[in-house]
Structure 1
């Protein structure tokens, strides 16, 4: 008898491996059964209730599609990105047609027929897609492929299998894979066929709270009928939050549950509208606690919080129908020294304006630097390579344990005030812990802090430096300059050093030479800002709001400003040379032009004005980069493409009045004039007050610009360390211990030493590169994180009258002035294009961003405070700026006209549809 699904062919014996019982699936069979089936198999291994069924493996999919022409689709999709939506949609539709037109091999159909018959005669089943790139720890792919419920009869099952195969090529699935960098050629689809649960109630269960991050809270959504109503968002379900530790129901919100999805006799489903279901919960407390226990057992088995689908049948039996990792949770800190109790971790990466992850070597470098700081302050550090007790890493970002600070009266008084001016959004989060009994003050004495701070200050002769700065400010500046010269000399490595000696040199710089930069330089800018505050006290109400901020415009002695103006000077030299300017024509809009300019520079093929000018700039500032605190990030001297792109943008600025050097000179002149006005205002209360205000503000301008200098020196040292590590990496690659020289940045310092001793580390590097690539895609980084996973900022509601609902985005005033212009959202400045006058909207900024500031009309940042790096530079350039605006890069689309008021800290989008 001919098989009805495959006309003209005779059935063959099923090939082994086409079908597997769910009991035989598991994590080790992921490539054969896909993520959904593998996780169901793991649930069965854990002894958890899962409906009986089988899995049609990826081998069947490949058999059915091997001659369908998908190889051409794979090739066309290689390197595609989600931004190319029209092209992706066309290719996806073509691929679906190919799959649907492909014959189901006879032996595959027979295998499905036999496995389905084993479940019972015409038993209702769910036919569900299970892709190899699905339900993974880093990407859930939830809902990307299709599921068919209450399928009855073998012909309907086979038709559903074909539809599942085709759903691997939906627009959303293709775009999702492109966004996660997953090769289309490596993805295949298995199909799970399971007995239907005749559900009285069903829904979803998260074993950790996906909104707040709390790992001890289970979140359950429930609705009558099949769980599809909850999963698809067709209903407002009942919502419950259960404390897993105390087994208490913390939240109980009864939804309307107006739609119920029910199975139909003979197959298919129907939506039933009900009017009174919202008056009572659809599941009782005993059922909730039973589900929470099932979820906790699943979490223990998988070793990570899970997102589960469940159903309870008419007999009251609970079934789990799916489990996947909760991929949106931010990872917990990897290192928690103090036993017991909840800890508070601050993200140091964000405080440094860095949202991207750090490479393993970058993290290792900071562990050694942090250990040197702790040892200098007389804290015990058993192993410097592990970092001091407060150090932790989470999501490949730097975190520090602030719990001891919160439990100390002096720490509470000082640290939030520092954040008020450096990272304003973190300050209220820290203050929110003041009333939390878990972090009550255990010490009010300042002596514990002083015995750690005083020795460091004495060794760096801080009191002497402050006195010199007050009495002989020019001498203080010269002393800071001499320190920088001695510091650079200490970074040199003797010629002919062996790789082991180079590594010793690296550890010496990180472990001994770096920390003295801070106590030797930072007191001067700190004094400058302190004198600004003192002048404000002397002036009283006569200063007027915002008057003191004008003194900080056009500050001298700021290495970052000097760098940006040096780059502008190079742009002006290029503009004046017709041949050089012609080289940059179109480079600001042509994505291929800038890399070609970089290649020509490396080959010494550019006109002399560009070649020598850029070489001179990189000779002074080539150690800098975007995300420069990471040892694994190339410096501008290694890859000048970013700088060449910035130069191309500078050359597009045609209004001479907007030239940054003119703007800077005018800002400096205005600041000096403001000092005279403020001194005159103080004179109304006596000549001595006039002299004190003038002297204070003069010293403010002399020293405040040095704020950038400590980091500048630190980055110089990190660039020197990177150069030595590259030399070591080259030797290790030549010896076959790693594949490429840059692989060394995916090791730590201990592993680098082991590699020099002969240990091959290819596998370690490969895994680390994969982890790093995944973390690069993470957008949300908590600025404060508790050890139980709670993100405190998620618990705080926005102040009334701010936020997108009110039409106004609120932040912290950073640089006075008002500007209305089109927004340009930039997440990574590498290769970014900012049209002159556009308002830059960024998650945060470090010195590598500031060349973009010269042509920006305004600045909006998601992070930062009035004295964070971006705010300081914006003020110096006279750019209106608002910082600490939550979710600005998400709420403001590129092209939207917005008004930035840097005086009151508001960002107002213009009415009307966004582009």
Structure 2
């Protein structure tokens, strides 16, 4: 086992011996890139000294064995015995999804054998700092599996140094290179001590240059170590064009060699460019999608509302393709329009990476669509959809599946339950295909009538008042809130039996409602997370919901001079009731068609629990990082081999790390979907969705766990909404949403409750802050600072 070896002895496959940094540098050396000479003190050397110790203090005082000390001294002498840079190279760093940037130590301008040995010990010890341990825990990397090597290279006393990104780290544009540079050693740029010169080089090769300020210059000192020069630093000239061209060319070659965008540290000294490090770029945004047309923006606004969080692999192989999105794709395809809701999510290394705006493709069949719509509208009345035998059969099937005892089910039966739950959704598409035309026809007929009467502004209000499963849910919540307000049940310990019984009954009826998204299976339902329901009840129990003054839009419309005859009035009433029935169908069918989702989720978690018992997973929720076909390939969990278990663990670890890497990266730039409008002093702008003006303190609520934060009169600011959020609108003064448009859930509910709403701000939850008093203008689509 090698204790010390030259960089040229290693390549990208030698991660276990040379660590991420050493393996990448060795790969560059082997391929004739301009890398300073150096050697690696391998992970075997670390293991020889460590002997099970895992504290920084131990390594800083550790005595190196004679053969190791002599090997390091010999390699150092072969480099010339001059100044060197000593860098940590852990086996879990400089990898896709795990950069570990700055987590382990680097020592520059190390001079002399004693100082070199000290630097090696300090690098080993940096594996066990609190920050490094916490970072590994965040990425679910087992401490026992991590080793560290040390890279020693001839010191380059740079005139100018910095970082080269082979893709734009801000926009994700793969056609651009970005170079940051400053005087002296690159540590000033890497550590953020300076505002560097900034170059953006596009396909044309002409750089866009922004000069830096060079607040600090780091240089090596004659006896070892570095010095920080501050104060008035003479501005340097921009890098010569030939140097920029060389850096750009090297960056492209390195990225092509490793097959992905790279983060490269470089130095320019004595007229030569040197590459000091290369690692995969992490947390890189997806490539820009370009300008969207109105149809694409509309579709993307809906998809973003449905995707408040990144889908897991299990979502991508279950509820995304087979749930509501797949269902609506089948509906649109039945009318000759393809690609509306398919293929819009792209994966990288097993994790969803980008939302790609769909491009609907009409087929020749779309020419027949008007005739098909009219025929279905005549045959299928949305007011009677629950009497359809297909719906009754669906309810019977889901009731039977939900009643099964998954815990006692043998693996060979359990593994088939997800497909059985998904199969239940398939007939639902047929019901949507048949009954939605009647809904559309009823809405268009009513809209045309009110427009002809010159009362178009009443259209939205005319749709209110239909009884839906959502209104039933809200009334049941209000009854629970009234009980809690009357008896103090929410603060009692234990919870009073009568209130607990009512809550149990509520969850049995409405517990399948989603908390985050209707198109993902991984977020919990109300039944899975009753604390969310209790949060809603607590909001409503603060005080009785404000009683909105009744406003019967239909009666106002019927006072029109052209509607004096009994026949015309009766016709308008029928048309309004039909439109309301269509709205109720849309709402209630969604409520019913979500029923298989909890069964699907429970079956997946039950499989996760059994895989935990078999030692393949650490916790049941780890199953979300797997794909359904991977689970189905397991014939019997009790017979899982060690190799199979390790393969599952590695898949989970790698995907979890990639997901963590992308945690701050959006699936698509919201500004592309929701272009920012300049409107004077507005803090944020969006689409006007519900008229009126209201002022109140901001309350940013990012997910259902924060429901209890809302107080009466707050301005609700959130990234998305769904029916689970509806009760909050009874207390909010106004609502501001990052996603969605005038036809989205939040807009409809806001109009029903008579509060202003601004949709599609794209950035409201990032710009507005809790407690900030703002004025929401639902007519203009603006949010301004209140006087």
Alignment partner of 2:742 out of 857, 861, 866: 866
Q: What are the within-5 Å matches in structure 2 for residues 96-115 of structure 1?
A: 98=57, 102-103=61-62, 105=64, 107=66, 112-115=72-75
SS in 1 for 2:513: coil
Q: What does the per-residue CA deviation read over 1:68-126, in whole Å, with 9 as the maximum and x for residues that have no partner? A: 884xxxxxxxxxxxxxxxxxxxxxxxx7xx469645546566554443233113x1222
SS in 1 for 2:452: helix
Structure 2 residue matching 1:304: 3-state secondary structure: coil
Q: 1:642 offset after TM fit, Å?
A: 3.0
Structure 2 counterpart of 1:514: 428
Structure 2: runs of 5+ lacking an equivalent:
289-297
1:293 lines up with 2:168 in the alignment: no
Superposition deviation, residue 41 in structure 1: 2.7
> In 1, distance between residues paired with 2:674 and 2:222?
49
SS in 2 for 1:300: helix
Q: What SS does structure 1 have at the residue aligned with 2:181?
A: strand
Partner in structure 2 of residue 908 of structure 1: 784
Are 1:583 and 2:492 matched, yes or no?
yes
Contact 2:677 2:686 in 1 (8 A): no
1:129-168 aligned within 5 A: 129-161=88-120, 164=123
User: Is the contact made by 2:141 and 2:653 (CA closer than 8 Å) also made in structure 1?
Assistant: no
Name 1:711's counterpart in structure 2: 590
Alignment partner, residue 80 of structure 1 = none
2:685 is equivalent to residue 810 of structure 1: yes
Give the match for residue 615 of structure 1. Answer: 504
Once the two structures are overlaid, the 10-residue window that deviates more, 295-304 or 873-882, is 873-882
2:23 matches 1:21: no
Is the 1:349–1:397 Cα contact (8 Å) retained in structure 2? no
- CA offset at residue 298 of structure 1? 2.1
Match in the other structure for 1:836:
711
- Provide the rounded CA distance (Å) in 2 between the counterparts of 1:468 and 1:783: 41
* Contact kept? 1:859, 1:881, Cα under 8 Å: yes
Ranges in structure 1 where 5+ consecutive residues have no aligned partner:
1-15, 71-94, 334-343, 409-445, 470-474, 585-596, 598-605, 785-790
| Residue in structure 1 matching 2:314, options 349, 356, 360 | 360
In structure 2, the residue corresponding to 1:393 is in which secondary structure? strand
The 3 A distance-change label for structure 1 pair 307 and 566 is same
In structure 2, distance between residues paired with 1:550 and 1:377: 28
Whole-angstrom distance in 1 between the partners of 2:649 and 2:447 = 52
- Conserved 8 A contact 2:341-2:358: no
Correspondence for 1:477 among 377, 383, 393: 383
Most deviating of 877-886 and 864-873: 877-886
Trace 1:787-826 onto structure 2 (pairs within 5 A). 793=671, 798-801=676-679, 808-826=683-701
Distance (Å, rounded) in 2 between the aligned partners of 1:742 and 1:477: 41
Separation in structure 2 between the aligned mates of residue 195 and residue 398 of structure 1, nearest angstrom: 39
Contact kept? 1:730, 1:741, Cα under 8 Å = yes
Cα distance between partner residues in 2 of 1:830 and 1:46: 52
In structure 1, the residue matched to 2:264 is 308
1:655 maps to 543
Aligned length: 754
Task: Classify 1:216/1:640 alpha carbon distance in 2 versus 1 (closer, same or farther; 3 Å).
Answer: same
8 A Cα contact 1:363 1:398, kept in partner: no
How has the CA–CA distance of structure 1 residues 50 and 357 changed in structure 2, closer, same or farther, with 3 Å as cutoff?
Answer: same
Q: Which digits, 9 at most, give the CA deviation of each residue in 1:621-642, with x for residues without a partner?
A: 1222323432344443345343
User: Alpha carbons of 1:901 and 1:156: their partners in 2 closer, same or farther (altered >3 Å)?
Assistant: farther
Distance 2:184 2:610 in 1: 65
2:238 aligns with: 281
Judged with a 3 Å threshold, the aligned counterparts in structure 2 of structure 1 residues 26 and 360 are, in CA distance, closer, same or farther, namely farther
Residue 653 (structure 2) aligned to one of 752, 770, 784: 770
Shift in CA distance, 843/63, structure 1 to aligned 2, threshold 3 Å? farther
State yes or no: 1:394 paired with 2:347: yes
Supply the distance in 2 between the matched residues of 1:909 and 1:171 (Cα, whole angstroms): 42
Q: Who is 1:218 aligned against?
A: 177
Aligned to 1:325: 280
Q: Distance in 1 between matches of 2:675 and 2:367?
A: 39
1:411-810 alignment runs, 5 A limit: 448=364, 450=366, 453=369, 458=372, 462-464=373-375, 466-467=377-378, 476-480=382-386, 482=388, 484-491=391-398, 499=413, 502=417, 505-506=420-421, 508-510=423-425, 512-523=426-437, 525-527=439-441, 530=444, 533-534=447-448, 537-538=451-452, 540=454, 549-551=460-462, 555-577=465-487, 580-583=489-492, 607-626=496-515, 627-647=517-537, 649-650=538-539, 653-656=541-544, 659=545, 663=547, 666=548, 669-670=550-551, 672=552, 674-680=553-559, 682-683=560-561, 699-722=578-601, 747-756=626-635, 760=640, 762-771=645-654, 773-774=656-657, 777=660, 778-780=662-664, 782=666, 784=668, 793=671, 798-801=676-679, 808-810=683-685
Matching residue of 1:41: 26
Contact 1:57-1:189 within 8 A present in 2 as well = yes
**CA distance 1:42–1:692, change in 2 (3 Å):** farther
Distance in 1 separating the partners of 2:149 and 2:769? 39
Deviations 1:677-719 (A, max 9, x none): 4554x54899899888776655544433443334323312333
How many angstroms apart in 2 are the aligned matches of 1:252 and 1:282?
A: 12
Structure 2 distance, partners of 1:867, 1:692, is 26
Partner secondary structure for residue 750 of structure 2: helix
Q: Distance in 1 between matches of 2:355 and 2:210?
A: 40
Distance of 2:45 and 2:588 partners within structure 1: 63
CA displacement 1:828-873 (0-9 Å, x = unmatched): 3247632423444332233344455554454332211122223323
CA distance in 1 between counterparts of 2:786 and 2:70 reads 63
Aligned to 2:291: none
Distance of 2:597 and 2:52 partners within structure 1? 54
Name 2:293's counterpart in structure 1: none
TM-score (structure 1 length as normaliser): 0.70
Shift of 1:307: 0.9
Assess if the C-alpha contact under 8 Å between 1:561 and 1:873 holds in 2.
no
Q: What CA deviation, in whole Å up to 9, does each residue of 1:442-483 have, x standing for no partner? A: xxxx763615856xx84xxx43554589xxxxx641334546
Relative distance call for 1:910 and 1:52 in structure 2 (3 A) is farther
2:166–2:262 CA contact under 8 A, matched in 1: yes
The farther-off stretch of 811-820 and 24-33 is 24-33
In structure 1, C-alpha distance between the alignment counterparts of 2:188 and 2:445, rounded to whole Å: 63
- Residue 308 of structure 1, CA deviation: 0.8
